[in-house]
């Protein structure tokens, strides 16, 4: 509410969200130094979200400030991974000579040798792979692994020069499917897709191009 009060025009968005992100990052460091890992985790998560919001309103590719906030977002989320109390892994998916960044979330109570189903999460056009909830993820709570990706034009992919075209998300989905199929914890016969916003358009296209996905929502 305080950020909304201070935003009077579109160009205020980066300034106000970056200020709020920096404050949260400071609070996170203070909590971490004091040994309060749960509090630190929550502050780092919100800081990463606010840095994402600050970046959203800058459209120019290669903008130095935008790229710097992207690095801060990644650093804050690395701290989320450190204090998550459950398995989260950074993943790189090969894509046209470059790579797409992703996050693999495994269920917290997965047993040794167990194979679990997995969902590929496709965010919206302005979404990022860090969009997954910090607590109460509906897939993880049901014992389902989740692979969230920055597809072409999304999140870190944009900074890497990987732009969205009319049809290149299908290949991104195939690379994600190949990765999941090779993971020892994943049951390759039970793979699905969940897309939100623009991801609800890309999801069916990926499912149509990659028959190893058995469901799409």
Instruction: Dump pLDDT digits (tens) for 118-148.
Output: 999 999 999 999 989 999 999 999 999 999 9
Note the pLDDT of residue 197.
96
Contacts of 100 (CB under 8 A, 6+ apart): 92, 93, 149, 150, 151, 152, 157, 162, 172, 175
CB 193 within 8 A of CB 216: yes
Q: What is the mean pLDDT of residues 85-97?
A: 96
Residue 62 has pLDDT above 90, yes or no: no
CB 199 within 8 A of CB 127: yes
Q: With cut-offs at 50, 70 and 90, classify the pLDDT of residue 112.
A: confident
Q: With cut-offs at 50, 70 and 90, classify the pLDDT of residue 61.
A: confident
- Average pLDDT value over all residues in the chain: 96
Alpha carbon 103 to chain centroid distance? 6
Choose the weakest-confidence range: 35-44, 61-70, 192-201: 61-70
Contacts of 67 (CB under 8 A, 6+ apart): 159
User: For residue 150, which of 122, 179, 192 has the smallest C-alpha distance?
Assistant: 122
Instruction: Dump pLDDT digits (tens) for 156-197.
Output: 999 899 999 999 999 999 999 999 999 999 999 999 999 999
| CA atoms of 59 and 126, how far apart (whole Å) | 11
Q: What is the mean pLDDT of residues 106-116?
A: 92
- From residue 203, how far is each of 174, 186, 213 by CA, in Å? 11, 20, 10
The percentage of the chain sitting over the pLDDT mark of 90, rounded to a whole number, equals 94
Who wins on pLDDT, 59 or 105?
105
């Amino acid at each position: 509410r305080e950020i909304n009060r201070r935003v009077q025009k579109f160009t205020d968005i980066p300034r106000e969200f970056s200020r709020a992100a920096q404050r949260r990052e400071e609070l996170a460091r203070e909590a971490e130094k004091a040994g309060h890992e749960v509090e630190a985790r929550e502050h780092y998560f919100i800081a990463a979200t606010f840095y994402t919001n600050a970046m959203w309103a800058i459209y120019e590719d290669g903008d130095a400030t935008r790229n710097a906030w992207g690095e801060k977002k990644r650093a804050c989320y690395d701290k989320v991974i450190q204090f998550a109390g459950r398995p989260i892994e950074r993943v790189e998916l090969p894509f046209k000579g470059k790579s797409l960044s992703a996050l693999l979330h495994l269920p917290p109570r997965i047993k040794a040798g167990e194979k679990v189903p997995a969902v590929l999460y496709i965010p919206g056009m302005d979404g990022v792979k860090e969009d997954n909830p910090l607590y109460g993820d509906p897939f993880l709570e049901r014992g389902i692994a989740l692979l969230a990706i920055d597809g072409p034009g999304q999140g870190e992919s944009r900074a890497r020069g990987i732009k969205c075209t009319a049809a290149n998300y299908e290949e991104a989905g195939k690379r994600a499917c190949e990765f999941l199929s090779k993971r020892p914890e994943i049951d390759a016969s039970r793979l699905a897709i969940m897309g939100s916003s623009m991801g609800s358009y890309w999801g069916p296209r990926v499912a149509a191009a990659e028959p190893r996905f058995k469901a799409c929502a």
